[in-house]
A and B are shown apart, each in its own frame.
Chain A
Amino acid sequence: MSNEPKAGVLQGTLDLMILQTLATLGSLHGYAISARIEQVSSGAIQLNMGTLYPGLMRLEQRGFVRAQWDRTETNRRARYYSITAAGRRQLQTEKTEWARMTAIMQAMLEGDAQ
């Protein structure tokens, strides 16, 4: 497909990014989530709908996020996602794991450089 995100989204990291975004900003609709991720990554990660929405569906099915229809400030109907308690716990675990992983990789790569 022509509209792959610029930086390939690692399997599993998408979930982490979405959860982190929702944990930070509270309830958001799908576009706001993708805009936020794009902004934070300085445009490096651009999610298309075919990636984002199945991801949101998966998180919803696993019980990490909750979704409901609501009105935007401009009075348009949109679906808002928010993180659940289980989602927060999952985020915590994943973050720890991520930190551990990056630390290992860092040590490894720096050790190699010498």
Chain B
Amino acid sequence: MRFRLLEWWRRGRETFRHRDDSQAEDELRFHLEMAELDALRKGQDVREARLRAGGIAQAAEAVRDQRTIGWLSDFLRDSRHGIRMLRRSPLFTIAAIVSLALGIGANTAIFSLIDTVMLRSMPVREPGRLVQFRRDLSYPLFRQFGRELRCFTDMFAQSSLGSRDIILDGEPEAVSAELVSGNYYSLLGVSAFTGRVFDLELDGKPEPVAVISHAYWQRRFGLDPGVIGRSFRWNGRAFTIIGVTPAAFHGVVPGVLPEITLPLSMAGEILDGPAWLTADSRRWLEVMGRLRAGYTIERAQVEVAAIYARVIRTEAEHSIGNEFERQRILAQQMLLEPSGNGFDFLRFRFAEPLRLLMGIVAMILLIACANLANLLLGRATTRRREIAVRLAMGAGRGRLLRQMLTEGMLLATAAGILGVLMAWWSANALVVMMSNGGDRIAVNSRPDFRILAFAACISAAACLLFSIAPAIQATRFRIQPGLADARAARWRLGRGLIASQVAISILLLIGAGLFGRTLLRLYSLETGFHREDVTLVSVKTDGASMSGNALRGRILETLRSLPGVASASFEMSPLSYKGWEASARPEGYTHGFNEDDQVHVSFIAEDYFRTLRTPLILGREFSERDTTASPKVVVVNETFARRYFRGQSPLGKWLTFVGEPDRMQIVGMAQDIRSRSLRGNIPPTVYKDAAQMSRPPSGVYIVRGARIAPLVDSALKQVDGRLRATDVRTLDENLSRAILRERMLGTLSGLFGALSLVLVSLGVYGVMAFHVARRQKEIGIRMALGARPLQVTGMVLSETALPVGAGVVMGVAGALGLARVTEKMIYGVTPTDLVTFAGAVGVLIVLALVAAYVPSRRAARLSPIETLRCE
């Protein structure tokens, strides 16, 4: 065995070595001469002796095969040949590699996002057995499920807190934090990298401890093992770091890397009160369970539904709402879903756009492949003579095919490498885009093994796709090559390529048009407010000497005094319509037994509508004269007035809410304001004055004034040294973030649509240039017989019309077929929007004509004499 290895090692080494065969041939020649001499001496037939010894060429070939590894050395020879050929036409090579690299890069980039967001399982024990509740639970409900469910061996709860401030070494710093129940790590099967993690006892016996992530340990503490036992302050309370999680563990929410994990049982101290652990109404926990052996998710679902039915029955009985409200409660469902990939807010938000984008980039790759096939086909035709000669000399067709595939593979490999680099760079840009203005999305876009494997696979697939057809085509014709046949076949294939490229590009352009128009529609909607020059400021008030209305008043006063600030106000959750709902009882209106009585309630400060430039249609908005002492007043929106007062003026009408003692008088009616996401209905809304609340809500300051961000911190310091701005951003940024999905689709599909246009015009140009070149002689004769240049151009253009027309028809048909898929993702346009379709078709036809016009004009310009002479 040892000797065999030695043999293969030496053969392998020889394969990569340049060695001239002259010595081997010397030896063989010597052998032959000796054989002849021997025969002469013995008086035998010299010719026969020579025949017996065999031919030198064959023997030399056999020796070479033994010396090296045959297929490998063929491959190397083909590669060297291929590289020489490619170097001889650098423009072709660069065009081919770049267009293919764009295709591969786009695919790899989108795949790496899909991979992190949707495909990657968590590095935990048996992720396939993990199941999550699709809705958030309250702490008591989590406990109740934990006690009563049999289907899970165990279940944990967690809640991401986002970026929070801690005090470490006396300095405040922002960390991303989450709360988890004590069994979190044991259920996932994650043990500490160093120190220890939380255990079950922590749930019953709360302790101020924390576990930090490996990344945070590295970033903040330089991997110092002494970190265990150190402490930081949170909300004024000291927490001790007891352990570090392994580097591979990134938490259970894709894209969110918790740096510090705290025990859920400490929620009362960590957040603002014990209600988080006791109130049924606070549904804030994401819950995951591990299926007991023998249970399927369907069986677990039945158990969960049975318990939950009891829960909502009790809730409905205790509800203070009307019958509609009771029905709403009873209609609630608690669904389970597999969660081996972790909780999936990213998946939920981006799954559809990403899948769509994957389809789009796959099509880009197809177009690029078609182009490359076309280019290779052109080269194969020009190399027709070389190939014919080699076939005639007895080269096997398989050997020739292999050689041509090798060339394709060289191109694909180069393009693959370039593509991965492009993907790396662009995936980072995409991540920035996805997390635009929001919390950091920690998507790992570095090309790891899976992504490289994916890139290699699509490169190989692309290589087969674009080089097989030309290779077969080029080696098919007989030894006596019918030149005209070859060119006609090439024209047939070229036309097919044009048609399919045009079809795909039409599809992409229509998609881009629809998403682009959606974006435009969203931007041009009547929003009810002016977004320009508005800044949103979130303020952290912990430890300030003032609080409540007094503090808010002082902050507003200071913000208003900043240079360039026209006005300032405050809202609990600006422009979101999230959170507060209540059952309204307007004066003079009786709800039907089963009628929805929920209205949205928003808490604002004085000057709110002026700051947003929302027109007040009737009455006034709140002012400094409205206080806790003065009569309670509210402002309603148009939708509210329309619904409850039917064209009568709402001014002066009275309003109560179920469960609240106060009677409130309507003093104003404002124009409807769209929520940040711009889509969706505007609910009937009641604006309450935050200044009239005995327990004022926290919220965000709204300032009309540009570029105040740098001034905010020092202004706040003037009010109180403990105040800090945690987030300052313009309303514009905030809105952009709310329509992130639409922006992403609009921008990327537009980008890819444009890319497809470039590739298609390259393709049309390539095919037509070749087509015209092959008909040079014919054109020369026509012109000699009196055809005018315009007629020649027209003839060539009319020949483009058929494949382009066929492509347009196929593309439009495809777009109509896909209408159902896009429908959910567009807004304000129909999926069969005529303008978009006409636009896409128009742009493509014009471009194809231009691409075909250039070579046709060149043909028409040639002097007939020259054309005929050069043949």
Binary per-residue interface labels of chain B (1-28) against chain A in the complex, 1 for a CB within 8 Å, 0 otherwise: 0011011001100000000000010111
Known contacts A31-B34, A63-B6, then 15 further A-B pairs from the complex at CB < 8 Å, ordered by chain A residue: A30-B27, A30-B30, A31-B35, A48-B52, A48-B54, A49-B28, A50-B59, A50-B62, A51-B62, A53-B59, A61-B67, A77-B30, A78-B27, A79-B27, A79-B30
Residue of B nearest to A78 (CB): B30
Name the B residues within 8 Å of A49 (CB-CB). 28, 31-32, 53-54, 56, 59
Binary per-residue interface labels of chain B (62-74) against chain A in the complex, 1 for a CB within 8 Å, 0 otherwise: 1101110000000
Contact A53 B3 (CB under 8 A): no
Which residues of chain A (12-50) have a CB below 8 Å from chain B?
Answer: 29-31, 34-35, 46, 48-50
Name the A residues within 8 Å of B10 (CB-CB). 61
Contact B59 A3 (CB under 8 A): no
Q: Which of A29, A34, A35, A53 contacts B63 (CB 8 A)?
A: A53
Contact B6 A62 (CB under 8 A): yes
A62 to B200, CA, bound (A): 65
With A30-B27, A53-B27, A78-B30 known to touch, is A48 a contact of B6 (CB < 8 Å)?
A: no
A-B CB pair tally, cutoff 8 Å: 76
A7 contacts B by Cβ under 8 Å: no
Q: Which of B26, B38, B51, B65 contacts A2 (CB 8 A)?
A: B51
Interface size on B, residues (CB 8 A): 29
A3 to B34, CA, bound (A): 17
Binary per-residue interface labels of chain A (45-73) against chain B in the complex, 1 for a CB within 8 Å, 0 otherwise: 01011110110011001111000000000
Binary per-residue interface labels of chain B (23-61) against chain A in the complex, 1 for a CB within 8 Å, 0 otherwise: 010111011101100100000000000011111101100
A18 to B295, CA, bound (A): 71
Contact B30 A31 (CB under 8 A): yes
Q: With both chains docked as a complex, state the minimum distance between the C-beta of A65 and any C-beta of chain B, in angstroms.
A: 12
Name the A residues within 8 Å of B63 (CB-CB). 53-54, 57
Q: With both chains docked as a complex, state the minimum distance between the C-beta of A54 and any C-beta of chain B, in angstroms.
A: 4
A-B contact list, 21 entries, CB within 8 Å? A29-B34, A30-B30, A31-B35, A31-B38, A49-B28, A49-B53, A53-B24, A53-B27, A53-B28, A53-B63, A57-B66, A58-B66, A61-B67, A62-B4, A62-B7, A63-B3, A63-B6, A77-B30, A78-B27, A79-B27, A90-B3
The 6 A-B pairs of least Cβ separation, nearest first, read A48-B54, A49-B59, A54-B66, A62-B3, A31-B34, A61-B7
A63 to B11, CA, bound (A): 13
Q: With both chains docked as a complex, state the minimum distance between the C-beta of B575 and any C-beta of chain A, in angstroms.
A: 79
A1 contacts B by Cβ under 8 Å: yes
Contact B65 A54 (CB under 8 A): yes
**Secondary structure of the B side of the interface?**
helix
Name the B residues within 8 Å of A61 (CB-CB). 6-7, 10-11, 66-67
With A61-B10, A76-B30, A77-B26 known to touch, is A53 a contact of B52 (CB < 8 Å)?
A: no
- Indicate the member of A1, A54, A77, A86 with the most B CB atoms within 10 Å: A54
With A35-B38, A62-B7 known to touch, is A57 a contact of B27 (CB < 8 Å)?
A: no
Q: With both chains docked as a complex, state the minimum distance between the C-beta of B337 and any C-beta of chain A, in angstroms.
A: 61
Contact B3 A30 (CB under 8 A): no
Name the A residues within 8 Å of B3 (CB-CB). 62-64, 86, 90
A3 to B48, CA, bound (A): 10
Q: With both chains docked as a complex, state the minimum distance between the C-beta of B62 and any C-beta of chain A, in angstroms.
A: 5
Contact A3 B53 (CB under 8 A): yes
Residue of B nearest to A5 (CB): B52
Residue of A nearest to B31 (CB): A31
Q: With both chains docked as a complex, state the minimum distance between the C-beta of B257 and any C-beta of chain A, in angstroms.
A: 56
Name the A residues within 8 Å of B4 (CB-CB). 62
Name the A residues within 8 Å of B66 (CB-CB). 54, 57-58, 61
Name the A residues within 8 Å of B62 (CB-CB). 50-51, 53-54
Q: Which of A30, A51, A58 contacts B7 (CB 8 A)?
A: A58
A53 to B54, CA, bound (A): 12
Contact A50 B54 (CB under 8 A): yes
- Indicate the member of A34, A48, A58 with the most B CB atoms within 10 Å: A48
Contact A46 B31 (CB under 8 A): no
A57 to B30, CA, bound (A): 17
Residue of B nearest to A58 (CB): B66
Name the B residues within 8 Å of A77 (CB-CB). 26, 30
- Indicate the member of A46, A61, A63 with the most B CB atoms within 10 Å: A61
Which residues of chain A (72-107) have a CB below 8 Å from chain B?
Answer: 76-79, 86, 90
Name the B residues within 8 Å of A29 (CB-CB). 30-31, 34
- Indicate the member of B7, B55, B56 with the most A CB atoms within 10 Å: B7
Name the B residues within 8 Å of A53 (CB-CB). 24, 27-28, 31, 59, 62-63
Residue of A nearest to B5 (CB): A62
Contact A1 B54 (CB under 8 A): yes
Name the B residues within 8 Å of A62 (CB-CB). 3-4, 6-7
Name the A residues within 8 Å of B28 (CB-CB). 49, 53
- Indicate the member of A3, A49, A53 with the most B CB atoms within 10 Å: A49
A79 to B25, CA, bound (A): 11
Name the B residues within 8 Å of A54 (CB-CB). 62-63, 65-66
- Indicate the member of B10, B24, B34 with the most A CB atoms within 10 Å: B34
Name the A residues within 8 Å of B52 (CB-CB). 3, 46, 48
Name the A residues within 8 Å of B67 (CB-CB). 57, 61
Q: With both chains docked as a complex, state the minimum distance between the C-beta of A43 and any C-beta of chain B, in angstroms.
A: 11
Q: With both chains docked as a complex, state the minimum distance between the C-beta of A9 and any C-beta of chain B, in angstroms.
A: 14
Q: With both chains docked as a complex, state the minimum distance between the C-beta of B407 and any C-beta of chain A, in angstroms.
A: 31
Name the B residues within 8 Å of A2 (CB-CB). 51
Name the A residues within 8 Å of B7 (CB-CB). 58, 61-62
Q: With both chains docked as a complex, state the minimum distance between the C-beta of A72 and any C-beta of chain B, in angstroms.
A: 9
Contact B6 A3 (CB under 8 A): no
A57 to B18, CA, bound (A): 17
Residue of A nearest to B14 (CB): A61
- Indicate the member of A31, A46, A54, A90 with the most B CB atoms within 10 Å: A31
Q: With both chains docked as a complex, state the minimum distance between the C-beta of B14 and any C-beta of chain A, in angstroms.
A: 9
Which residues of chain B (144-188) have a CB below 8 Å from chain A?
Answer: none
Name the B residues within 8 Å of A90 (CB-CB). 3
A49 to B51, CA, bound (A): 10
Contact A48 B53 (CB under 8 A): yes
A95 to B618, CA, bound (A): 115
Name the A residues within 8 Å of B58 (CB-CB). 1, 50
Q: With both chains docked as a complex, state the minimum distance between the C-beta of B53 and any C-beta of chain A, in angstroms.
A: 5
Residue of A nearest to B10 (CB): A61
Residue of A nearest to B27 (CB): A79
Q: With both chains docked as a complex, state the minimum distance between the C-beta of A11 and any C-beta of chain B, in angstroms.
A: 14
Name the B residues within 8 Å of A63 (CB-CB). 3, 6
A48 to B38, CA, bound (A): 15
Contact B30 A3 (CB under 8 A): no
Q: With both chains docked as a complex, state the minimum distance between the C-beta of A94 and any C-beta of chain B, in angstroms.
A: 12
Name the A residues within 8 Å of B34 (CB-CB). 29, 31
Name the B residues within 8 Å of A50 (CB-CB). 54-55, 58-59, 62
Residue of A nearest to B8 (CB): A61
- Indicate the member of B11, B38, B52 with the most A CB atoms within 10 Å: B52
Contact B27 A3 (CB under 8 A): no
A57 to B59, CA, bound (A): 12
Q: With both chains docked as a complex, state the minimum distance between the C-beta of B94 and any C-beta of chain A, in angstroms.
A: 43
- Indicate the member of A29, A57, A63 with the most B CB atoms within 10 Å: A57
A46 to B48, CA, bound (A): 12
Name the A residues within 8 Å of B55 (CB-CB). 50
A55 to B66, CA, bound (A): 8
